[in-house]
Homo-oligomer: A and B are copies of this chain.
C-alpha cells in the first residue's frame, strides 16, 4: 500500500508519499515529500492547488490518502481559507476514486511518537529516525505530511491484524 499524506494549506501545502513496509515488522519507506506552493490569487490559486494535487496523484499513483483535520484553529478567517484549500484537495482525491482518511495533529503525534503532546521538532526527529533519513524532511509541512502517512499505515496494519484474527496460543 502506498499512502499520499497531505497537510492542507493554500500558500504552502505539504505532501508525502510513503510505502508500507516491504516485510512485516520493518519501517515504511519514503518515496517522496515536499510542498506545493500554488501561484495566483483567490479562486485561481485554488485551481492551481487542485491541479497540483491531481499532478501528485498522477505521478505517484497512491492507493490511499491521509489528510490533516484541523479543529484547533481559533482564527475564523484562517479557518475559512484552510477550509477552501481542504475543499479542493478532498475533491481531487475523491474524483480520483481514492479513499480519504482524516487525522487530527494529536492523533498523528500519538501514532508517530507515542506522545500526543510532542512538539514539532520532536515529531520531525522521530519521523527522520523511523524512515532512516539523514535529516528531517523540509519544509515542516512536508514533515507533517510524512507523519500523516505513518499514522495511516500504522492504523491500517492494526486493522488488518484485527480482521485476520489473533492466532490462538498453542497448547
Q: Which of B42, B44, B81, B95 contacts A83 (CB 8 A)?
A: B81
Contact B90 A46 (CB under 8 A): yes
With A84-B84, A86-B84 known to touch, is A43 a contact of B76 (CB < 8 Å)?
A: no
Tell me the smallest distance from the CB of A155 to a CB of chain B, in Å: 17
Which stretch of A28-36, A66-74, A105-113, A118-126 is in the interface? Answer: A66-74
Q: Say yes or no: B83 contacts A46, CB within 8 Å.
A: no
- Type the 1/0 row for A86-109, where 1 means its CB is closer than 8 Å to any CB of B: 111011011100001000000000
Summarize A's interface: helix, strand, loop or mixed.
helix
**A136, B74: Cα distance in complex, Å:** 37
**Given the contacts A47-B95, A87-B87, A94-B44, A80 and B79 also touching, CB distance less than 8 Å:** yes
Q: Is A56 an interface residue (CB 8 A)?
A: no
A15 at the interface (CB under 8 A from B): no
Chain B residue at smallest Cβ distance from A73: B76
Residues of B within 8 A of A46 (CB): 87, 90-91, 94
Contacts of A73 on B, CB cut-off 8 Å?
Answer: 76, 80
B-binding residues in A (CB < 8 A):
42-44, 46-47, 50, 70-71, 73-77, 79-88, 90-91, 93-95, 100
* Across the A-B interface, the 9 shortest Cβ-Cβ residue pairs: A83-B83, A87-B87, A84-B87, A43-B90, A80-B83, A79-B79, A43-B94, A76-B79, A83-B84
